[in-house]
Amino acid sequence: MKKYWYLAYCHPKEEERAKLHLQNQGIDSYYPLVLTRKILRGKMIEKTEPMFPRYLFIHVDIDEFSPMKIRSTRGISRVIGHGEKWSKVPKELIYQLMSNEDSDELRDVVSRLPKHGQQVLIEDGPFQGLQAIYQEPDGELRAILLLSILNQDVSDSFDNKSFRCMAS
């Protein structure tokens, strides 16, 4: 058995469909996911998305499974290669992607993101050194913080790099 990893190009947003249909044929496949933060209807959401949109790694012995059958699998547009010869993907790359996907580093980054009501310390700009309360995201690069200045609460928008979370 000569199984190798290959790279398939999928139809838009059909990586999961292709993976399922390949699985039904007894073919292993994989696409790495990453945790992203996006603004949706004014709210910051965390979402897992494909690291390489529209690409799916497939692990198959092409002597055992017809390349035509794989190419015609629902969700797959084509397999990457030169003409009829598919390009092999080094297995070390796949295993590295798999080992990093659910990493402690990713969990650490997510845990450092401020939550609504969490205290932050402003480290840059005219309010440097003041404490504030994280309110909500203001786009992808800014956030709304609540400051208490001269006994008055003031909400303002700050660059995400200008403050850090305080220890809970």
Q: Which residues sit opposite 130 in a β-bridge?
A: none
Domain check: are 12 and 89 in the same one?
yes
Give the pLDDT score at 87. Answer: 92
Report the alpha-carbon distance of residue 121 to residue 104 in Å, rounded. 25
CATH code: domain of residue 155: 2.30.30.30
Compute the CA torsion angle 159, 160, 164, 168 (nearest 10 deg): 120
Residues 94 and 42 in one domain: yes
pLDDT reported for residue 96: 81
The pLDDT score that the predictor gives to residue 58 is 95
Is 84 in the same domain as 158?
Answer: no
Residue among 110, 137, 139 nearest 34 (CA)? 110
What pLDDT is recorded for position 131? 93
**pLDDT for the residue 92:** 86
- The phi, psi pair for 21, rounded to 5°, reads -70, -35
pLDDT along the chain (168 residues), means of 10: 89 92 92 84 82 94 85 92 88 82 57 77 90 76 83 85 80
**CATH code of the domain covering residue 57:** 3.30.70.940
List the structure tokens of 106: 């990713």
State whether 29 and 67 are in the same domain.
Answer: yes
Q: How many structural domains comprise the chain?
A: 2
In a shared domain, residues 90 and 151:
no
What backbone torsions phi and psi does residue 124 show, to the nearest 5 degrees? -150, 150
Q: Which domain holds residue 96?
A: 4-111
Amino acid at 62: I
50 vs 30: CA distance, rounded Å:
10
